[in-house]
Structure 1
Amino acid sequence: MAKHGQPIRREEHLLHPSSNNSYKPSDINETIEKSNANSKTALVYGDILPSSTRNAVPCTARGCKWQKYSRYVYVPVTFSRTYSRRELNTIIAALLTFHRSTCIRFVWKRWWHRNYISFYPGAGCFSQLGRQTRGQSISLARPGCVKQGIVQHEVLHALGFHHEQVRSDRDKHITIRFENVIRGREHNFRKIGTNNLGTPYDLKSIMQYSKYAFSKNGKPTIVAKSNPHLNFGTSKVMSKNDINRVNRLYKCFMMTIQSTAAGSGAEARQLEMSLSALIRVTEQNTGEQSSSVP
């Protein structure tokens, strides 16, 4: 483990997710949309920062997956010093949900790590798609974007996953009502030639837009073909299909798919141990933080 970095663990006094993840908007996608509405950052698909070196999906087929070592995929991370302890706990608690149900392991960034993720409070909630060269950033504006579901959503982008409604097979499951989309935002619904990893279309995915996403008139922009009156895109945590896709893409065959709210066995109990050391490093290692946060 030492060569990959210190694993992120949980603090004994970590706030319970239900106590600091309340959502005033109806779903996390609405929160993301509102947070990014006035952002001056050039974004595509609502919350994806374009890469200057590669196209979007299927980037995972072109080398944007994170490297796997034996059983685990180690993803180094660093955090802005401006996040409060409460906000940092919320972000780390969200990262730990990947530990409990996938082979993704977030570790503290060390000097030898060439690829890593920096979390910082930018002007909105956004991420790049897949692993980038020489580090990348995930913006989580404070306090609006520092929510468990939003962290999961943006991290899934960084792991190589796009939004559900742009899937290559979306037309079998949903209808896009472009006549109701805000002018100039039609590109957010452009279909992509995705690798769906043999998983079904999932209206409960945390990557699924709400039915009123980018609506100019309060009317639905996305309608489910199975039931035109169905409400969807309101998930606040990863679905089983979201977890399954991570495990399939990164070949986490040894993992048992579980709820993101609980772990099991000795490994899960280990992950619930103290996070105090990581917090101390965050507070003390100011030189590394300031050099890696935009």
Structure 2
Amino acid sequence: MLCLLFFLIYFANIFSFISMETNEIDDDDGIDLSHFGAKIYGQPKKHDGSVERYGNPEEQGDYLEGDLLIPTSAKNGIRDQSYRWKHGEVPFVINGNFDAFMMDKLERAFNEYKAKTCIKFIPRRPSDRDYISIENAPTGCWSSIGRIGGKQIVNLQTPLCLSLIGTVLHELLHVVGFFHEQNREDRDSYVTINSKNIRDGYQVNFAKIKKGDSTSFGVGYDYGSVLHYSADAFSKNGKPTIVAKKKTNEAMGQRKGFSQKDIEKINKMYKCQRSADDSFFGNVQRQILSFNNENE
């Protein structure tokens, strides 16, 4: 009888997801943007929608590091810090003209965060002052880092930036608060940057994050991160601009989906915790206790 109970419980719960909850995120959980200086600020530029062969669309922009931009025309509005999203909730509105296929791609990206992290993209409520506006102006793929306050744009030019779910995940990871992987301060132990192959004027895109600005949360370097540049990013001659120093089976610049280390970093940044009460094993435990109580 007991074996039958376990069998039934297993199949009743096999499709259940382990829920995640986030600890409180305070305003002092800031994200240092000072190493970017004023270069991260500017205005969107028209993009013709083309993508170089083998290139990721977010690596084709004329913005800082290809896809980082905080639109502003007021120099006194510049500040050197953004913040994490409280409770891991990112309110959003959709202000672009997205067809059913593209809306499905956005929903799939949101669901990836929901299933694997405690980040929740939720429709904006009247009380939400800070939120993202998802748009598809002909200005390429770009977003800002972290919660900058008020309305902040995530631009996903169609169909350019919605061909792969990884591009959407990439831009939303910036929104959550993460920098590009190959720009982390310890990258010189893992990759070689071939400056001679970088397009003139684009060397700044490979600048390392200043020492002491922790963005990795103790997670090792990740060649397979959805935030890593491709090997020939910003190349002027088709030759590699980034070469791995260590043997890896991971493809630099992949945009198929989160790597395991991407997920680990998100959950560490937002202090995500598994909710035992809603987990598979929590459900099993509750049902066994209920069964025992009913038969005492």
Aligned partner of 1:65 among 81, 84, 93:
84
1:124 partner letter: G
User: What residue is the counterpart of 1:31 in the other structure?
Assistant: 57
User: What residue is the counterpart of 2:25 in the other structure?
Assistant: none
User: What residue is the counterpart of 1:76 in the other structure?
Assistant: 91
How much identity, in percent, do the aligned residues show? 36
Note the alpha carbon deviations across 1:101-146, whole angstroms, 9 max, x for none: 1111111112211011110002100000110111201000001101
Larger Rg: 2
Higher relative strand content: 2
User: What residue is the counterpart of 2:155 in the other structure?
Assistant: 139
Question: Mind listing any 5+ residue stretches in structure 2 that lack a counterpart?
Answer: 1-50, 72-76, 282-296
Aligned partner of 1:98 among 103, 113, 129:
113
Aligned partner of 1:53 among 70, 75, 78:
78
Aligned partner of 1:239 among 259, 271, 279:
259
Matched, 1:150 2:163: no
Q: Is the 8 A contact 1:44 1:50 kept in 2?
A: no
Question: Mind listing any 5+ residue stretches in structure 1 that lack a counterpart?
Answer: 1-23, 38-42, 257-263, 267-294
Cα distance, 1:86 vs structure 2: 1.9
1:207 partner letter: L
2:57 partner letter: T
Q: Is the 8 A contact 1:45 1:187 kept in 2?
A: yes
Residues 81, 129 of structure 1: CA spacing in aligned structure 2 closer, same or farther, 3 A cutoff? closer
Alpha-carbon distance in 1 for matches of 2:253, 2:268: 23
Q: Is the 8 A contact 1:204 1:239 kept in 2?
A: yes
Q: Which has the higher contact order (CA 8 A, sep 6+)?
A: 1
Matched, 1:127 2:143: yes
User: What residue is the counterpart of 1:165 in the other structure?
Assistant: 182
**TM-score, with normalisation over the residues of structure 2?**
0.68
Cα distance, 1:229 vs structure 2: 11
- SS of residue matched to 1:253: strand
Q: How many residues align?
A: 220
Q: Is the 8 A contact 1:247 1:255 kept in 2?
A: no
Aligned partner of 1:224 among 235, 240, 244:
244
Cα distance, 1:30 vs structure 2: 2.0
Q: Is the 8 A contact 2:56 2:253 kept in 1?
A: no
Q: Is the 8 A contact 1:224 1:230 kept in 2?
A: no
User: What residue is the counterpart of 1:4 in the other structure?
Assistant: none
Cα distance, 1:97 vs structure 2: 0.3
Alpha-carbon distance in 2 for matches of 1:125, 1:255: 35
- SS of residue matched to 2:243: strand
Aligned partner of 2:221 among 176, 198, 201:
201
- SS of residue matched to 1:183: coil
Cα distance, 1:235 vs structure 2: 3.8
- SS of residue matched to 2:205: helix
User: What residue is the counterpart of 2:193 in the other structure?
Assistant: 176
Aligned-residue Cα RMSD (Å) equals 2.6
Q: Is the 8 A contact 2:217 2:265 kept in 1?
A: yes
Alpha-carbon distance in 2 for matches of 1:238, 1:229: 16
Alpha-carbon distance in 2 for matches of 1:265, 1:26: 44
Residues 190, 132 of structure 1: CA spacing in aligned structure 2 closer, same or farther, 3 A cutoff? same
- SS of residue matched to 2:169: helix
Note the alpha carbon deviations across 1:154-202, whole angstroms, 9 max, x for none: 0000111000010010011111110110000001000003411000000
Q: Is the 8 A contact 2:57 2:140 kept in 1?
A: no
